[in-house]
Amino acid sequence: MVPTVYLDYAATTPVDPRVIAAMKPYFSDIFGNPSSVHRAGQQAEGALEGARRQVAEVLGAQPAEIIFTGCGSESDNLALRGAAWAGRMDRGASHILVTPVEHDAIGATADDLARRQEFEVERLTVDPHGRIEPGTLANAVRPDTAIVSVIYGNNEVGTVNPIPELAAVCRQAGVPLHTDAVQAGSQLPLDVDALGVDLMSLGAHKFYGPKGVGALYVRSGTRLSPHLTGGSHEFGLRAGTPNVALIVGLAEALRITAQERDEHNQRYRALRDRIIQRVLAEVPDAKLTGDPAERLPNHASFVLAGVDGNALLAALDLAGFACSSGSACKTGDPEPSSVLLAMGLAPDLALGSLRVTVGRQTTEADIDAFCDSLPKLIARLRRAEVAPG
């Protein structure tokens, strides 16, 4: 077996040992239901509310503004559905604004609201880097817009959107703004007042926490209808017994991430820039996707003419490198990425995408080994593509 160099930190991250240690007591020793009135329940409730305070502190929010969910995708669903339903109920608003470069947790949810409940969904135009300009949003927002959702840091191409400027447009229009910060949470500032957002989604496994737990920030006064009913948990917005162990893990992972962000980002940028420099210099017809400057510190992404992205991923895997062709949810999909198409790339070029993301465990030797191998693999695949028969 070839040892694997993991370069897919945008898909998921390993759980930090400090996070595992923080979670461990809540699987066996402190196992009560936080809704129970006895001592075991009170201990669990104390851990739950302590985690809520910890997350709120990182976000510059109030504890009552933090809702724990089962994952980042559920946070996105609750934000979009909840705000759309509340907007229609409160003021007859049935217009939803999203971007064409959202994660499917937003894009598919918006389409479902349009199909099942006759919401009008409009997708904002992005520039060639996948970025939304404030003027574009200002021209599209309407009095009957129920919710605007714009991704913070794009999972496929790494582009970072100007969320504070977009939030100012929404605030002037009196429309709530949600941002999917699931990909951004490991690297970008998350102060909700500085960002100006009304709703923000996070997923723990993107910042060295456990899978199966997420959080949604809901600014005080923002109306939201629950999409999961059956109990008064999470201020009545998300029914179901909370998974205390995973919630504690999310809070600890977020605390560590915020504390160490600048240190890690400095190293990520150096590794990322080395990847970009070498790939563009050494791979003919390689093109960087996403904004060259306003992009996630750990994220490099490309399209490669004459290369099938899935074949390249398989070849890289055999050579000992774990990468992606975009969103982990799209890996193996023979259709070109809708994100790349929205950015104006031709379908055949969009099929040749590659995403390389670094993390805490990545070394310079890992990057050099990858960059040494990639041009040879691409050349071999291109030869096979043009070979007769």
Report domain extents, the chain: 5-13+261-386
pTM as predicted = 0.95
What does the pLDDT read at residue 227?
A: 86
What residues contact 145, with CB distance under 8 A and at least 6 apart?
87, 93, 95, 96, 97, 173, 175
State how beta strands 199-203 and 214-218 pair. Answer: antiparallel
With a CB cutoff of 8 Å and minimum separation 6, the contacts of 24 are 245
* Beta-sheet strand order (sheet of 199-203): 66-69, 214-218, 199-203, 177-180, 145-149, 95-98, 120-123
Torsion of CA 46, 52, 55, 59, to 10 degrees: -140
Q: Which of 71, 170, 323, 329 is catalytic?
A: 329
Q: Which of 122, 83, 80, 87 is nearest to 103 (CA)?
A: 80
How does DSSP classify residue 158? Answer: -
Q: Decide if 329 is catalytic.
A: yes
How big is the chain by its Cα radius of gyration, in Å? Answer: 21
> In whole angstroms, what is the distance from residue 328 CA to residue 351 CA?
15
Q: Is 266 exposed, middle or buried, given 0-12, 13-18 or 19+ CB atoms closer than 10 A?
A: exposed
Assign a CATH topology to domain 5-13+261-386.
Aspartate Aminotransferase, domain 1 (3.90.1150)
Going residue by residue through the chain (389 aa), what tens digit of pLDDT does each one get? 667 899 999 999 999 999 999 999 999 999 999 888 899 899 999 999 999 999 999 999 999 999 999 999 999 999 999 999 999 999 999 999 999 999 999 999 999 999 999 999 999 999 999 999 999 999 999 999 999 999 999 999 999 999 999 999 999 999 999 999 999 999 999 999 999 999 999 999 999 999 999 999 999 999 999 988 888 899 889 989 999 999 999 999 999 999 999 999 999 999 999 999 999 999 999 999 999 999 999 999 999 999 999 999 999 999 999 999 865 555 455 688 999 999 999 999 999 999 999 999 999 999 999 999 999 999 999 988 766 55
- Neighbouring CB atoms inside 10 A of 259's CB total 10
Q: What is the pLDDT of residue 106?
A: 98
